[in-house]
């Protein structure tokens, strides 16, 4: 059951979140090193996000809706949910400012 939930969270939350951030960075022509740093951090943060989603289903549902509707900045969700990603997000912020995918 845990594996199924992790797969669903990965598909409905992490993949769209990663894609939106990557699209913004690509549109801003961010250096490949920053793109790779953010992508790696997002990948490594998946277990943390899955843990949060399993312990707080309401957060999971509301966050998925926010990501899919574009009402929340994906980089903020990633930084808030996985604090270890904050340095990577902060390095990318100049390229993310004002960019909407």
Structurally, how many domains does the chain consist of? 1
pLDDT greater than 90 at residue 37: yes
User: pTM score, two decimals?
Assistant: 0.83
Q: Is residue 101 part of a domain?
A: no
Domain interval for residue 69: 2-96
CA 38, CA 50: separation in Å to the nearest integer? 18
Q: Is residue 72 part of a domain?
A: yes
Q: Is residue 56 part of a domain?
A: yes
Ramachandran region, residue 82 (left: φ > 0; alpha: ψ -120 to 50; beta: rest): beta
Confidence of residue 98 (pLDDT cuts 50, 70, 90): low
Q: Which tokens in the block code for residue 16?
A: 């769209």
The mean of the pLDDT values for the chain is: 89
Q: Is residue 12 part of a domain?
A: yes
Using alpha carbons only, how large is the chain's radius of gyration in Å? 13
């Amino acid at each position: 059951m845990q594996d199924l939930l992790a797969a669903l969270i990965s598909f409905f939350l992490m993949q769209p979140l990663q894609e939106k951030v990557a699209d913004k960075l690509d549109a801003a022509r961010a250096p490949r090193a920053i793109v790779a740093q953010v992508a790696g951090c997002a990948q490594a943060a998946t277990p943390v996000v899955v843990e949060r989603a399993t312990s707080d289903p309401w957060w999971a549902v509301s966050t998925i809706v926010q990501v899919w509707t574009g009402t929340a900045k994906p980089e903020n969700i990633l930084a808030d949910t996985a604090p270890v990603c904050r340095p990577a997000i902060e390095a990318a912020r100049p390229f993310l400012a004002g960019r909407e995918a």
